[in-house]
Amino acid sequence: MKSGNRFSSGYTFHPTTFNSPSGEGSNQGGHGPGNNQSSGSDNPEEIKDDEGEKNTFPNNTKEEELLVDTCPVCNMDVETTKFYSQYNGKTFFFCSDGCLQKFISNPGNFFGNHNFDLIIVGGGPAGLTAAVYASISKIDTFFIAKDIGGQAIDSTKIKNYMGFDFISGKMLVDKFKEQFLENHYLAHKLDDVIHIEKQNNSFKITTKSNETFLSKAVIIATGMKKRKLGIEGEERLQRKGIFYKLVQDISLLEGKDIVVIGGGNSSIQTANELLNNHCKVTIVTKGKMIADKTDVDRIKQRQNIRIIEEHDVMEIWGDEKVEGVSVRPEKDINRPPKSIPCDGVFIQVGFLPNTEFCKEVVDLNEKGEIVINNDCSTATEGVFACGDVTNNYGKRIVIASGEGAKAVLRTRQFLKEKKTTKIL
């Protein structure tokens, strides 16, 4: 009989009967750590999982019939059936062996007393690197993030990240995620941190789901969010043809007229992807193009592209969906706006730091970035920050990753100095 945990950590656990949507395959048993667990089928059939390895499932239940949804421990999306368990007659799937073991050991309380030496907030390259280094350093750590990947996951092509000439953002984030979940697991949860406050010698972290956690140190690695234009029609036409990142199925826009607003590298990436899908693309930018010159020169050679520089976008218009934008030369405010009909608008005008939740414990500069010292420390002892959320020079994935490692090394030193850590 094959265990639901292919990477067994020493606990014998055999949940092998699943319930199909029609209810077939149910066979309640009674062994396991306090849960009603199903016994195995006498005639299982083997189905290959997404890695081509064999996984055992009972008769009458195909893998595609199984609901692979979110991990009950951490809320992370589960895209594989490698880790599973039955509890009270229901099948649960897990993002990793670590979360499966937490569920087995205590199905009702995954994170103990919610008190840790270190809490890392943020799931981009800086936060994920910090998590791996915290695991390596054996620091009692909890990792909280709104999502995994941050802005990096939206990059269609990342150039010259060490080890890769080119790699997509999703592929790189998948490698980060695999390293974190399979090789350097930490207790973690997907949730939105809404407040951090200092309480005596600890920090209280409150999440959107109204959970609270305590820690002796905090690393903030929340990155940045897409900046909005704040113009007429932008809010009214949300989800009606306005985009802030590439859509997952860009083929839905094939052949359409699209306006891309912004002059940076992200606007060039977006325009190239749209052109590859036979769209007619107009790039509108305030000021001159600031993207890499070689990329700008290259896209100018393509068909169905025009670039309008030094123009302000005044309005996005349309009734039930985006139908066009109005633009005006930024140096001629008395000229009537010009209309550009289009079927969709991609807004790529930069980012804002995600710092609203931590203003009480850090100093912010005029851009809203967290002011840090060379060792990632902030104005508050015990609070560290890294990555694009800080005033550190260079908004690059490779720099953010390095800063994440540095922040953990400095945090480890801080905890040792305080002699309050449970480093093994």
DSSP state of 163: T
| CA–CA–CA angle 132, 135, 138 (5° rounding) | 155
For the chain, give every domain's residue range: 1-110, 115-225+352-418, 242-349
- Cα–Cα distance for residue pair 53/49, rounded to 1 Å: 6
Burial (CB < 10 A; 0-12, 13-18, 19+), residue 65, is middle
- Cα–Cα distance for residue pair 135/103, rounded to 1 Å: 20
pTM for this structure?
0.70
- Cα–Cα distance for residue pair 36/321, rounded to 1 Å: 51
pLDDT at 249: 66
Question: Angle formed by the axes of helices 293-300 and 265-276, to 10°?
Answer: 30
Burial (CB < 10 A; 0-12, 13-18, 19+), residue 183, is exposed
Burial (CB < 10 A; 0-12, 13-18, 19+), residue 48, is exposed
**pLDDT tens, position by position, for the chain (424 residues)?**
333 443 333 333 333 333 333 333 333 333 333 333 332 333 333 323 333 333 333 333 343 334 457 899 999 988 888 899 988 888 899 999 999 999 998 887 888 889 999 999 999 999 999 999 999 999 999 999 998 887 776 666 677 788 888 788 788 888 888 899 888 999 999 999 999 999 988 999 999 999 999 999 999 999 998 889 999 999 999 889 998 877 666 788 999 999 999 999 989 999 999 999 999 999 999 999 999 999 999 999 999 999 999 999 999 999 999 999 999 999 988 899 999 999 999 999 988 999 999 999 999 999 999 999 999 999 999 999 999 999 999 888 889 999 999 999 999 999 999 875 455 4
Residue type, 79: E
User: Which residues are paired to 384 by β-bridges?
Assistant: 219, 377
pLDDT at 154: 62
pLDDT at 130: 96
Q: Which residues contact 115 (CB under 8 A, 6 or more apart)?
A: 202, 213, 214, 215
Collapsing DSSP states into helix, strand and coil, what is residue 181? helix
pLDDT at 306: 97
Q: What CATH number belongs to 242-349?
A: 3.50.50.60
Domain 115-225+352-418 of CATH type 3.40.50.720: no
- Cα–Cα distance for residue pair 291/269, rounded to 1 Å: 10
